[in-house]
Copies of this chain bind each other. A is one copy, B any other.
Amino acid sequence: MGYNDVKLIGAWPSPFVMRARIALNLKSVEYEFLQEKFGVKSELLLKSNPVHKKIPVLIHDDKPICESLVIVQYIDEVWSSGPSILPSDPNDRAIARFWASYLDDKWFPTMREMRDAQGEAKKAAISTVMEGLAYMEEAFVKISKGKEFFGGEKIGYLDIAFGCFLGWLRVNEKMNDLKLLDETKVPNLWKWAENFCADNAVKDVMPATEKLLEIVKIIAKSKAP
């Protein structure tokens, strides 16, 4: 696979960028990682994603593809140099897509709110995040059928969609001094998270919690009056 054909505009702390990186790793596709600087958007990003002006953008043969889940599906459809990322059965695919969209539309936005919320709003956010983890625990048991991953024996679409948030989940645990991914409450998910982070396609792109905590400090500083 020609190195110059595939570029990824991104930044290492972004969970959405991580999705594209894991999918490329799974397919053993080499790519040039063009990292955006904090607080400045590159000309290439603005040109490649004029609507949202957001990372990640995959550039393949000079054509930009935007939106992380669109990118993951694109990678799966273009490269057969690795396991299938989407399940082959239409019903399984629909279920994986349903949960991925739940995570992006409801669960992760609430986890992001959690960090800054206070008092009752924080309690409500924590409760929604915990409810979401309970949903995902139940979904994992049904979907994985005793295997290690949502995708079975290998990491698949929903593993990537959910797993990319594990770093930020741990940051939220640290900052709020609470256990969200609790071994006693969501034991299957807890084990899945261990397996996911240890996977060859993941371990080098999953940021350490300490490094993400430094990013939180930089963001807080940039917002300070």
Contact = CB atoms under 8 A, between A and B. Distances in A.
Nearest to A58: B94
A145 to B, nearest CB: 16
A1 interface: no
A57 to B, nearest CB: 11
A91 B70 contact: no
Nearest to A139: B51
Interface in A81-108: 90-91, 93-94, 97-98, 101-102
A93 B74 contact: yes
A173 interface: no
Contact of A73 (B60, B69, B74, B94): B94
A124 to B, nearest CB: 17
A77 interface: yes
A103 B163 CA distance: 26
A39 B90 CA distance: 32
A98 B66 contact: yes
A99 to B, nearest CB: 9
A63 interface: yes
A40 interface: no
Contacts of A63: 91
Nearest to A105: B105
A135 B52 CA distance: 12
A69 B98 CA distance: 9
Interface in A162-209: none
B102 A74 contact: no
A93 B77 contact: yes
8 smallest beta-carbon distances between A and B, as pairs: A77-B90, A74-B94, A70-B97, A65-B94, A78-B90, A70-B94, A70-B98, A67-B98
28 contacts: A51-B102, A51-B135, A52-B102, A60-B91, A63-B91, A65-B91, A65-B94, A65-B98, A66-B98, A67-B97, A67-B98, A67-B101, A69-B101, A70-B94, A70-B97, A70-B98, A70-B101, A71-B94, A73-B93, A73-B94, A73-B97, A74-B90, A74-B91, A74-B93, A74-B94, A77-B90, A77-B93, A78-B90
